[in-house]
Amino acid sequence: MTFDWTYFWASLLTPSPQFLNGLALTIVISIVAMVGALVIGLLIALMGRSRFLPFQVFASLYVWVIRGTPLLVQLVIIYTGFAAIGLFRFEDVDLVGVLIKGAVQAAIVGLMLNESAYISEIVRSGLESVDRGQNEAALSLGMTPLKSMRAIIVPQAVRIMVPPLGNSFNGLMKSTSILSVIGVSEMFQVGSTMSAATFKVFEVYIVVAIYYLLLTTVWTLIQTAIENWLNARAGLPRAESLLKRLFGVRTRRRPAAPTPALALQPTDVR
């Protein structure tokens, strides 16, 4: 069995419309699920910090159950299990002329719920990293707890939360590869269909891997830009370069000009 370089380069440089549709669906599902996970994760984190005991218990149980069970199992329960017991069935819907299949809806919900449990812990640790004295000082100045959170705590916590949140989105994009188990025609599923039809298994899956790598690399560029923007607003040094993040290569930085020392005058000597 030989590697078909002609088929490989053709699939990589001129992918089929079906593959491009799968790529687009992967991106859309990842973005929508991440936005929803951010909202739910923030709510769960705030519930965990609430003084209302039922909220604390719910948040703890939510994180415990979601983080303690595999995403694959969660997807099957959401899409197949709920329908089997008559609890809920995802039906195809037409949204502004776009047909959204039930499997895609279930995939978004499953990824959203799964990722929100991890994001809630990121948000919680980010909020707790800000010194409590700053919140107490804001309250002593007459700010409401909500205004203190919005104006004092959150702006500082966001800069700390961006790197782990970026890593979460990276992982979420790669997790879309298991959505084929519920019949979502994302990039991996389309690649599997292509390999079954052409028997070019190795060539097809390398192409799929390269496109996943391109997606995560583009996101790394965006994440680096976001971190640099936040650091600039806070007056902090720039984040690590892309070469350092991807390949471990340290770029040589021009050393800062030393601060001129005051010349010691003879009259200063005692």
Using CA atoms, how far residue 140 sits from 46, 51, 127, in Å, is 22, 20, 19
CATH topology of domain 18-247: MetI-like fold (1.10.3720)
Contact 112, 33 (CB under 8 A): yes
Q: Give the pLDDT confidence score for residue 263 in this predicted structure.
A: 43
Instruction: Summarize pLDDT for 140-194 with one digit per residue, the tens.
Output: 888 887 787 777 788 788 888 999 999 999 999 999 999 999 999 999 999 999 9
**121-142 burial code (b ≥16 CB/10 A, e <16):** bbbbebbeebeeeebeebeeee
What is the percent of the chain where pLDDT is above 70?
89
How much is the pTM? 0.84
Amino acid at 241: S
Given a cut of 90, whether residue 1 has pLDDT beyond it is no
